[in-house]
Structure 1
Amino acid sequence: MSYDALRHFADSWGLVAMTVMFLTFVGWTFLPHARAAHARAATMILEDDLQDGEQANG
């Protein structure tokens, strides 16, 4: 396979593959089963938690 053929293949099918992967990742984010995990991640920084047995000062 020559460089030009490989470059043409990567330009066409590489773009298709990256588009499909992008749409899959974006779609995966909005699946109903992930709602609880995303809600927890969105508020995680606001929660008080214990670190090494000491209460965090805030």
Structure 2
Amino acid sequence: METYTAMRHFADSWVLLAMALFFVGVIAFTLRPGGKKSADEAANIPLKED
């Protein structure tokens, strides 16, 4: 039972912090200044004819 409590405490604190930092990083990566061009290119991939 001690292992469960330790893992629960770890998940409640550090894993939550890691997920929050990952989320902020994804948002920052998406909204970076040079991201519009690459996002537009990726959005047009299905429309390109080979």
TM-score tier, shorter chain, comes to 0.7 to 0.9
Number of equivalences: 48
Matches within 5 A, 1:32-51: 32-49=33-50
Higher helix proportion, which one? Answer: 2
TM-score normalised per structure 2: 0.76
TM-score normalised per structure 1: 0.68
State the 4+ residue runs in structure 1 displaced beyond 2 angstroms: none
Segments of structure 1 that go 5 or more residues without pairing to the other structure are 50-58
- The higher radius of gyration belongs to 1
RMSD, aligned α-carbons: 1.3
Percent sequence identity is: 38
